[in-house]
Amino acid sequence: MLIHGEGGTGKSKVITKITRAFRDRAVQHWLVKAAYTGVATLLIDGKTTHTIGAMGLRGDKMSPANKAKLQNFWKDRLFLIIDKISMISKQFLSCLSRKIGISKASSSDKSFGGVNVIICGDFHQFPPVASSPLQALYHPSDEARDNVDMKVGRVIYKEFTTVILLKQQMRVMDEVWRDFLRHLRVGNVQERHITMLRTLLLTDKDEFNSDPWQNATLVTPRHGVRVPWNAQAARKMCRNDSKQLFVCPAEDTYCGGPLSLAERMEKELPSTIELAIRMSIMVTNNVETDLDITNGARGTIKRIILDPDEPTIGDEAVVYLKKLPPFVLVRFEHTKAGTLSGLSMGILPIEPVKTTYQIKMLMDDNTTVKRMIRRRQFPLTGAYAFTNYRSQGQTLKHVIVDIATPPTGGLSLFNVYVALSRSSGRDTIVDVWILCVLGPDKGCDITL
C-alpha cells in the first residue's frame, strides 16, 4: 500500500493510529516502522531503514553474526511501514527488499521476503539522497542505462497498487497559506502569492528581539548560515540567562599523537564545539538508535561535566576549555530510555564519539601523502537553526525561513516547499517570515 499526501495531511498521524491498532491487539511485535533519516524516525517512533536492513558499505555482504542478528530481528515481523518514501531510491529499495528477504529465508523469493509493506510520503518533497534524479521511484526504468538494482527497485515500487491519497489538511488552517502551498508544491505560484509573500518579508533586524520571533527557529538550506546563526543564538541565550559558554576542543590525533598545525589546516572541519547549560542542541550522529538518540534528536543541556585535569575556570562569559569534557547531561524531548539513577526522566549522558577522516598533505618535495586522522568530539550542534532536510515532517510553531538565493548553486522546489510548509499559516501577525537580511549581498554577519 502507498499512502500519499501533501505536507500536513496527517500521514504521521495515520502511522500512529496503525501503531495503536497493533498495540490494542497485543501484536505490536509484528510491526516495524522505519524512515531514511534519524530525525524522521523520531516522528514515528521507528528505526532507520539502514538499521532494519543492516544496510552498510559492503552491499549484501554480511558476517554470520550480523546475518543471524538480522534474521532474529525479522523472525516475528509481518508488517513494515516506511515513511518519507520520496527519499528512497530505486536501488536502495531493491537492496532493502533483498536484505529483508535474506532474513526471511522461507519467503525470500518475494519482495521484502513476504512482509506486508506500507510506504508513506509525498513525492513533491525531498528526492533520493545523494542519488541521481533518475533514481526516484516514480521515474520509469531505462533498460539501456539503469543497473539491475534500479530496474528491480522500479518493479518493486510498481507492486504498490493500493494507493490512498490523503486530502484533508491537518496542519495548515490558514486558507490563504494553504492555497499558496498547494500551488508551490506543483510549481505553479501565481502573482497573488508573490504579493502575499512580500508582506512577510523580514527586513529589520530589531524585530528578532520581539515576541514571538526572538525564540523562533531558522530553517535554511545553507550550512554557512546555520552555523553562525546557532553561534549567535547560543551567545544570546547565555547573556539572557547569565550562563557561561564553553568552547570544547576536538581531540585530533595521527598515529596516537597530536596533529601539527599544517595537518590541522588541511581539513576544513570545525575544531571546536560550543556548549552551554540550557542550550538547545541537536544530535548529529546515530548514538543509540534503540533509545531514539539518533541524528536529529533534540534536547537541552542540563549540566556539563568538566575534565578533572581542566584548569580552574574564571567567571568570563566565554571559556576556552583545555580538555574535552568527559560527558554532558542532556534532557531529550523524546527518548525510550528509562530513568537513570540520580537523574530526572529524559536526562541522559552524552559522551564524545570517535570518528576518522582523511587528509592529503603536500610535502616539501611536491608529493602528496594521505593521513588518517582520528577525532573525539561531541556529536552535538546548536538547535536554533537547522537545514531543510532536518525540518522535514516537523510542525514548527514559529519559524523563520531562509529562501534567499544562495551564493552558489540554487534552491530547488523541494527545498522551498518543505521549508515553507513547516508552519500552520499566518496566525496573529505571521508564523513564517521570509529571511532577506541574509541575502548574498549582505553576507552572514549575524548579530542577535
| CATH code, 18 | 3.40.50.300
Domain stop point among 137, 166, 195: 166
Considering the domain architecture, whether residues 249 and 317 belong to the same structural domain is answered as yes
Tell me, yes or no, whether 226 lies in a domain.
Answer: no
pLDDT on residue 310: 94
Q: For residues 49 and 295, which has the higher predicted lDDT (pLDDT)? A: 49
* 197 vs 361: CA distance, rounded Å: 49
Tell me the mean pLDDT in the region 246-275: 69
Tell me, yes or no, whether 173 lies in a domain.
Answer: no
Tell me, yes or no, whether 284 lies in a domain.
Answer: yes
For residue 440, pLDDT over 50 is answered with: no
Considering the domain architecture, whether residues 370 and 411 belong to the same structural domain is answered as no
Spatial CB neighbours of 302, under 8 Å, sequence gap ≥ 6: 277, 329, 330, 331, 347
Proportion of the chain above pLDDT 70, given as a percent: 85
Tell me, yes or no, whether 172 lies in a domain.
Answer: no
Proportion of the chain above pLDDT 90, given as a percent: 43
Considering the domain architecture, whether residues 58 and 140 belong to the same structural domain is answered as yes
Q: How confident is the model at residue 432 (pLDDT cuts 50, 70, 90)?
A: very low
Considering the domain architecture, whether residues 377 and 401 belong to the same structural domain is answered as no
Tell me, yes or no, whether 222 lies in a domain.
Answer: no
Considering the domain architecture, whether residues 118 and 157 belong to the same structural domain is answered as yes
* 107 vs 78: CA distance, rounded Å: 12
Considering the domain architecture, whether residues 272 and 378 belong to the same structural domain is answered as yes
Tell me, yes or no, whether 214 lies in a domain.
Answer: no
Domain stop point among 166, 197, 216: 166
Considering the domain architecture, whether residues 22 and 128 belong to the same structural domain is answered as yes
User: What is the pTM (predicted TM-score) of this model?
Assistant: 0.78
For residue 427, pLDDT over 90 is answered with: no
For residue 428, pLDDT over 50 is answered with: no
Provide the domain count of the chain.
Answer: 3
pLDDT in tens, 384-419: 988 877 766 566 677 788 877 666 666 778 878 887
pLDDT in tens, 187-241: 899 999 988 888 887 766 777 677 777 778 888 877 788 889 999 999 999 999 9
Considering the domain architecture, whether residues 14 and 74 belong to the same structural domain is answered as yes
Least confident stretch, 86-95, 216-225, 226-235, 439-448: 439-448
Q: Give 3-state DSSP helix, strand, coil % of the chain, rounded to 5.
A: 30, 25, 45
Tell me, yes or no, whether 425 lies in a domain.
Answer: yes
Report which of 301, 306, 303 is spatially closest to residue 249, judged by C-alpha positions: 306
Considering the domain architecture, whether residues 426 and 321 belong to the same structural domain is answered as no
Considering the domain architecture, whether residues 16 and 139 belong to the same structural domain is answered as yes
pLDDT on residue 263: 45
363 to 139, 265, 356: CA distances (angstroms): 47, 14, 22
Tell me, yes or no, whether 400 lies in a domain.
Answer: yes
* 415 vs 409: CA distance, rounded Å: 13
Considering the domain architecture, whether residues 159 and 183 belong to the same structural domain is answered as no
Range of the domain at 396: 179-207+392-435
Helix (H, G, I), strand (E, B) or coil at 19: helix
Considering the domain architecture, whether residues 146 and 116 belong to the same structural domain is answered as yes
Domain stop point among 382, 400, 420: 382
pLDDT on residue 408: 63
Q: How confident is the model at residue 107 (pLDDT cuts 50, 70, 90)?
A: low
Mean pLDDT across the chain, nearest whole number? Answer: 84
Q: How confident is the model at residue 304 (pLDDT cuts 50, 70, 90)?
A: very high
Report which of 163, 173, 92 is spatially closest to residue 128, judged by C-alpha positions: 92
* 35 vs 49: CA distance, rounded Å: 6
Tell me the mean pLDDT in the region 349-359: 86
